[in-house]
């Protein structure tokens, strides 16, 4: 059957995508205590002088609410570096804006912080995991102990009842590790695995980016994993079709990553 033209496919949830996007992302701060090799924002410990103030942030949330955008992502930098993060999540929730947050795995990401975000109205937590071992992930993220802290944060989020999606940036540092990563994710209670590709901006280096043929190999690997993986939520049923997998457990996107 021929594929239906994109402009004729009904919008999800009745949203008019000519008027409103399905997703909006706000870089709430450029401040971050990690030194990730791929960071598009070239994040640093201190905030950028043009960072929105608390009142400006609330005004932005008002605009998002008026547009009825289903998901509003707070990213960075590290959102936990903003002292008013919990207040902003709570304000967004009061406006019926569903907020997801992508924190960095630093000492700021505590059990208390995760539960406090949940109490404020957080609907999903996105966290990055770029290697199946501490050696791969910590080298990529520039902080010893980041891998262990990430695994701990996933466990705390599960305890708090917050859905978790995991982000992986594929580069020459970890392209060999996708099978092992998938094996690890089968043991963790996550709802989505987002795969990004390194783009050489910010700290991202051209030499770390995959070649065209290597991209094709990764796409093939992604499809292979989608056919055989048994991630949490599948209940050991038959392998998901590519369409089901994309809608439930997996999203592969090429973008300038700030995860």
Per-residue pLDDT at 42: 53
Q: What is the mean pLDDT of residues 99-126?
A: 96
Per-residue pLDDT at 207: 66
**Domain residue ranges of the chain, discontinuous segments joined by +:** 15-252
Per-residue pLDDT at 93: 97
CA torsion sign for 96, 97, 103, 107 is negative
Confidence of residue 241 (pLDDT cuts 50, 70, 90): very low
pLDDT digits (tens, 9 = 90+) for 144-174: 888 999 999 999 999 999 999 999 988 888 8
Q: What is the mean pLDDT of residues 55-80?
A: 94
Per-residue pLDDT at 234: 41
Q: What is the mean pLDDT of residues 67-78?
A: 91
DSSP 43-103: -BSSPPTTPPPHHHHHHHHHHHHHHT-SEEEEESS-GGGSTTHHHHHHHHHHTT-EEEE--
Q: Is residue 244 over pLDDT 60?
A: no
pLDDT digits (tens, 9 = 90+) for 215-232: 888 888 888 887 877 765
**Buried b / exposed e along 204-243 (16+ C-beta atoms within 10 A):** beeebbbeeeeeeebeebbeebbeebebeebeeeeebeee
The conformation of residue 26, written as its DSSP 8-state character, comes to E
pLDDT digits (tens, 9 = 90+) for 6-33: 444 444 556 676 777 888 999 999 898 8
CB atoms within 10 A of CB 255: 12
Q: Which CATH code of 1.10.645.10, 3.30.300.10, 3.20.20.70, 1.10.3720.10 fits the domain covering 15-252? A: 3.20.20.70
Q: Is residue 236 over pLDDT 80?
A: no
């Amino acid at each position: 059957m021929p594929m239906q033209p994109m402009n004729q496919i009904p919008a999800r949830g009745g949203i008019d995508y000519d008027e409103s996007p399905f997703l909006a992302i706000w870089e709430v701060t450029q401040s971050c205590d990690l030194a990730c090799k791929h960071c598009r924002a070239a994040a640093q410990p201190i905030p950028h002088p043009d960072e929105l103030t608390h009142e400006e942030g609330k005004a932005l949330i008002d605009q998002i609410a008026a547009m009825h955008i289903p998901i509003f992502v707070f990213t960075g930098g590290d959102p936990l570096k903003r002292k008013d993060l919990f207040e902003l999540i709570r304000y967004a929730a009061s406006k019926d804006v569903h907020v997801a947050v992508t924190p960095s795995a630093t000492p700021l990401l505590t059990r208390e912080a995760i539960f406090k975000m949940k109490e404020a109205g957080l609907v999903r937590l996105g966290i990055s995991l770029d290697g199946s071992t501490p050696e791969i992930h910590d080298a990529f993220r520039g902080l010893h102990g980041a891998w262990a802290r990430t695994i701990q944060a996933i466990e705390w989020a599960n305890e708090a009842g917050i859905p978790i999606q995991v982000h992986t940036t594929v580069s020459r540092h970890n392209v060999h590790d996708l099978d092992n990563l998938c094996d690890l994710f089968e043991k963790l209670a996550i709802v989505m695995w987002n795969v990004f590709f390194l783009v050489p901006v910010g700290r991202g280096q051209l030499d770390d980016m995959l070649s065209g043929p290597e991209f094709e190999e990764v796409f093939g690997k992604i499809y292979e994993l989608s056919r055989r993986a048994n991630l949490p939520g599948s209940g050991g049923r038959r392998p998901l079709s590519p369409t089901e997998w994309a809608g439930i457990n997996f999203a592969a996107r090429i973008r300038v990553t700030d995860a």
